[in-house]
Amino acid sequence: MKKFLSAPFIVFILAGTLIPMCVIAYYGLTDRTGAFTIQNILAVGTGDHAKALGLSLLLSFAATLICLILAFPLGLILKDSKLGKKGFMVFLFILPMWMNFVLRTMAWQVLLEKSGPLGFLGIINTPTAVVLGMVYDYLPFMVLPIYNAMIKIDDSLIEAAYDLGASKSTVLRKVIAPLTIPGIVSGVTMVFVPSLTTFAISNMLGGGKVNLIGNIIEQEFTTSSNWNLGSGLSLVMMIFIVISMAFIEKFDKNGEGSMI
């Protein structure tokens, strides 16, 4: 019975994830004639590609860090606010997520344009604008898991820490932060991975001047129509993502035990 109920899900996973992955792997490991090659994979080491990958890593790292720095105190404020107000504040943060992602990014494009209201900043078409876009688009994905982890912390734990003489900052470092790690881990994953692979944000806010690895892959599939190279680079990205997730996971295990 259980097997029967999960059948649609299994079909969905097969059709939507597993099969495309196999197709990508096939294209990535062959050349145009269909012969096996690892050239598409090694291509990531060459000039432009390596530079794009490096920039992607750098920008997504920066965006993740900024999101974390913003989301942690925000989570604290949300946790401490009164019940009615809490719902409203959380709602405010989820609200932008109801808007289409491309529209949100486009809004920033209009704002940051030379002639736009924030044009004087002169950051349109620079990596700064791309990071700004990433932070704006993905911040809710950092706030929500952190907030969720924080409200799960029993108030009596915080009171116990104060009772034992802890100052506010000790409570923050020794009790709240360690207990928020599961939320931080999901938040970091949910911001870092899409930032690393984005091409839409860098297209719109980078104006073709900020080339991320996502843009390169996109171009291989569209303008250059070199599916083999595009797939090969995608495979490399997947490996990067798996490695970074494993790294984060390990960090979580060390700090937290098995909370996820």
Cα separations (Å) of 166 from 34, 171, 172, 175?
A: 66, 6, 9, 10
Which part of the chain contacts other proteins (CB under 8 A), choosing from 3-11, 20-28, 161-169, 215-223?
Answer: 161-169
Minimal distance in Å, beta carbon 158 to other proteins?
9
Compute how many residues bind other proteins; rule: CB under 8 A.
20
Structure tokens at 202: 């860098």
**Residue 256 touches other proteins, criterion: CB under 8 A:** yes
Which DSSP string do the residues of 48-70 spell out, in sequence order? HHHHHHHHHHHHHHHHHHHHHHH
Q: Does 83 bind other proteins (CB under 8 A)?
A: no
Helix (H) or strand (E) run with residue 124 in it: none
User: Is residue 100 involved in binding other proteins (CB under 8 A)?
Assistant: no
Nearer to other proteins, 131 or 161 (CB): 161
Residue 161 in the binding site for other proteins (CB under 8 A):
yes
Q: Which of 173, 178, 249, 250 binds other proteins (CB under 8 A)?
A: 178
Residue 254 C-beta: closest distance to other proteins, Å: 11
Examine residue 255 and tell whether it contacts other proteins (CB under 8 A). Answer: yes
Cβ partners under 8 Å of residue 166, min gap 6: 174, 175
To the nearest whole angstrom, how small is the minimum distance from the Cβ of residue 180 to other proteins? 10
Is 154 strand, coil or helix? coil
Cα 124-241-184 angle, rounded to 5 deg: 80
**Does residue 179 bind other proteins (CB under 8 A)?**
yes
Q: What does the alpha-carbon distance between residue 236 and residue 48 come to, in Å, rounded to a whole number?
A: 15
- Spatial CA neighbour of 215 closest among 97, 66, 51: 51
- Helix or strand or coil: residue 122? coil
Instruction: Mark 141-160 with x for binding to other proteins (rule: CB under 8 A) and - for no binding.
Output: -------------x-xx-xx
Q: Encoding tokens for residue 157?
A: 């734990």
Which CB sits closer to other proteins, 124 or 146? Answer: 146
Residues 14-33, interacting with other proteins (CB under 8 A): none
Cα 230 from Cα 248, distance rounded (Å):
27
Residues that bind other proteins in the complex, under the rule CB under 8 A:
154, 156-157, 159-167, 170, 174-175, 178-179, 255-257
